[in-house]
């Protein structure tokens, strides 16, 4: 599929990446962006230090105009922490500042720039959504080695044994764990001689690691896909007219992501409930669907009781839906650990956690929350983390994805660009 991605800004759709397409914004905002970029360019020439926080990085690379219009509000909505509380090393050394020449020339010519980045095209399973990939992978594995619906309640490090909630246990030589590393450390049993080390590790998880929760909200709608949505894939929302930071037109990824037109469903509500009360009769389709994501943390609380209604209201406010749209399906799930935050204390904390787990107790804690590195925390990364952890356990091979995120992300982008 071709990525068709926009940012909702000033009541219009700005093609992604935002900075290359400011020609569609009002002139005052175009000026703010260009002035900011000029200041940033001068600052980059003058500066002797390197930025430490994400906020400093944004100002240095993009300038204040783009920071205030897009980068700061959008990133607060995504991460649920202010950009000043985040580090910038996770972005990698290869992220280039936007081209001032391109931005100015696009703006003067009222042009918009095309696709960019590692996922300008992407594949998606025809059936079963994203999980379809991993269910297909699981089918290739020996069934007798798989156990489901059991929880690890503790790990006996010195005894090399994992204890489960059903009273069972599994002995290990090398343990590759995708449990969140904070849970793992909290439930790790160690010898008395390692009590001080364990205490330090517990402190590292509590003081150094931050995460945000993610609410995923799905809305199924009756009707033809409106032309205003067209082939849009995913959309970014930096402004405060909706609680979500991203919306995905999930039915555009596969016709099997929503019911076929002959399926009859009742209308639950109109997008704007003041439109009226639905008849209660089950009717046919066609159908289309949206998936929204909302972040939450102590720094950005969410009212769970009103979130669904607020999200639907946000869909109407941002023209994803019309008030008269018939909603036939609603879904809301909270992932308590949604995003591992690249916080200021993260790398020091991980240095206190991952090496001793491995050296002392043969535990390779890997994956999105196992190794807590957002920059190598997507599905493809997490899969590679697992493959490389096995190679390390069996052959002592180095782990490139864990130790060199900048390299693997850069290499992947280069490979994509060469195609």
Ligand X SMILES: Cc1cc2nc3c(=O)[nH]c(=O)nc-3n(C[C@H](O)[C@H](O)[C@H](O)COP(=O)(O)OP(=O)(O)OC[C@H]3O[C@@H](n4cnc5c(N)ncnc54)[C@H](O)[C@@H]3O)c2cc1C
Q: Of 64 and 373, which has the nearer Cβ to ligand X?
A: 373
136 three-class SS: helix
Q: Of 102 and 387, which has the nearer Cβ to ligand X?
A: 387
Provide the minimum distance between the beta carbon of 244 and ligand X in the complex, in angstroms, as a whole number. 11
287 three-class SS: strand
Provide the minimum distance between the beta carbon of 401 and ligand X in the complex, in angstroms, as a whole number. 11
Q: Of 234 and 270, which has the nearer Cβ to ligand X?
A: 234
Query: What is the DSSP code string of 325-343?
Result: PEEEEEEEEEEEEEEEE-B
Q: Of 152 and 330, which has the nearer Cβ to ligand X?
A: 152
Residue nearest to ligand X (CB): 367
Q: Of 303 and 378, which has the nearer Cβ to ligand X?
A: 378
Helix axes 27-46, 54-62, angle to 10 degrees: 110
What are the backbone dihedrals phi and psi of residue 256, each rounded to the nearest 5 degrees, phi first?
A: -85, 5
Nearest residue to 171 (alpha-carbon basis) of 190, 150, 155: 155
Taking the C-alpha atoms of residue 135 and residue 279, their distance in angstroms, rounded to an integer, is: 39
* Both structure tokens of 181: 């590393």
Provide the minimum distance between the beta carbon of 339 and ligand X in the complex, in angstroms, as a whole number. 7
* Both structure tokens of 120: 């300008």
Q: Of 155 and 316, which has the nearer Cβ to ligand X?
A: 155
Provide the minimum distance between the beta carbon of 242 and ligand X in the complex, in angstroms, as a whole number. 16
Q: With beta carbons less than 8 A apart as the criterion, state whether 356 and 201 touch.
A: yes
Taking the C-alpha atoms of residue 408 and residue 401, their distance in angstroms, rounded to an integer, is: 6
Query: What is the DSSP code string of 340-372?
Result: EE-BTTHHHHHHHHHHHHHHHH-EEE-STTTT-
* Both structure tokens of 402: 């864990």
Provide the minimum distance between the beta carbon of 221 and ligand X in the complex, in angstroms, as a whole number. 21
Provide the minimum distance between the beta carbon of 161 and ligand X in the complex, in angstroms, as a whole number. 14
Q: Of 62 and 385, which has the nearer Cβ to ligand X?
A: 385
Taking the C-alpha atoms of residue 414 and residue 409, their distance in angstroms, rounded to an integer, is: 9
Taking the C-alpha atoms of residue 339 and residue 210, their distance in angstroms, rounded to an integer, is: 9
Provide the minimum distance between the beta carbon of 143 and ligand X in the complex, in angstroms, as a whole number. 18
Interface residue list for ligand X (CB under 6 A): 151-152, 178-179, 183, 214, 216, 293, 335, 338, 367-368, 370, 377-380, 382
């Amino acid at each position: 599929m071709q990525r068709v991605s926009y940012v909702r800004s000033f009541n219009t759709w700005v093609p992604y990446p935002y900075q290359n397409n400011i020609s569609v914004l009002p002139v005052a905002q175009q000026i703010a962006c260009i002035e900011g970029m000029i200041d940033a360019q001068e600052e980059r020439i003058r500066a002797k230090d390197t930025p430490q926080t994400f906020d400093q990085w944004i100002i240095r690379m993009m300038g204040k105009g783009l920071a205030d219009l897009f980068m700061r509000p959008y990133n607060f909505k995504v991460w649920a922490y202010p950009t000043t509380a985040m580090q910038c090393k996770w972005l990698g050394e290869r992220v280039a500042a936007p081209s001032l020449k391109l931005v100015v020339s696009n703006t003067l010519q009222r042009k918009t720039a095309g696709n960019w980045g590692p996922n300008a095209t992407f594949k998606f399973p025809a059936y079963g959504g994203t999980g379809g990939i991993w269910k297909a992978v699981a089918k290739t594995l020996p069934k007798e080695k798989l156990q489901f619906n059991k929880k690890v309640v503790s790990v006996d490090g010195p005894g090399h044994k994992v204890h489960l909630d059903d009273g069972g246990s599994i002995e290990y030589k090398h343990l590759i764990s995708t449990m969140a590393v904070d849970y793992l450390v909290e439930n790790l049993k160690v010898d008395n001689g390692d009590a001080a080390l364990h205490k330090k590790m517990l402190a590292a998880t509590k003081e150094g690691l931050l995460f945000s929760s993610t609410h995923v909200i799905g809305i199924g709608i009756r009707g033809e896909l409106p032309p205003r949505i067209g082939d849009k894939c995913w959309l970014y929302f930096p402004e405060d007219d909706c609680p979500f930071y991203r919306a995905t037109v999930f039915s555009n990824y596969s016709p099997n992501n929503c019911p076929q037109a002959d399926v009859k469903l009742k209308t639950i509500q109109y997008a704007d409930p003041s439109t009226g009360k639905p008849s209660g009769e089950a009717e046919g389709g066609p159908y289309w669907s949206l998936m929204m994501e909302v972040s939450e943390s102590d720094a950005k609380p969410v009212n769970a009781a009103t979130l669904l209604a607020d999200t639907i209201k946000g869909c109407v406010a941002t023209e994803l839906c019309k008030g008269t749209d018939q909603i036939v399906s609603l879904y809301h799930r909270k992932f308590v650990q949604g995003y591992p935050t690249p916080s200021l204390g993260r790398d020091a904390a991980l240095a206190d956690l991952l090496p001793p787990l491995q050296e002392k107790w043969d535990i390779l804690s890997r994956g999105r929350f196992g190794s807590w590195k957002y920059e190598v925390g997507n599905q493809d990364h997490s899969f590679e983390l697992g493959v490389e952890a096995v190679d390390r356990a069996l052959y002592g091979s180095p782990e490139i994805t864990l130790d060199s995120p900048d390299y693997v992300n850069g290499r992947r982008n280069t490979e994509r660009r060469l195609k």
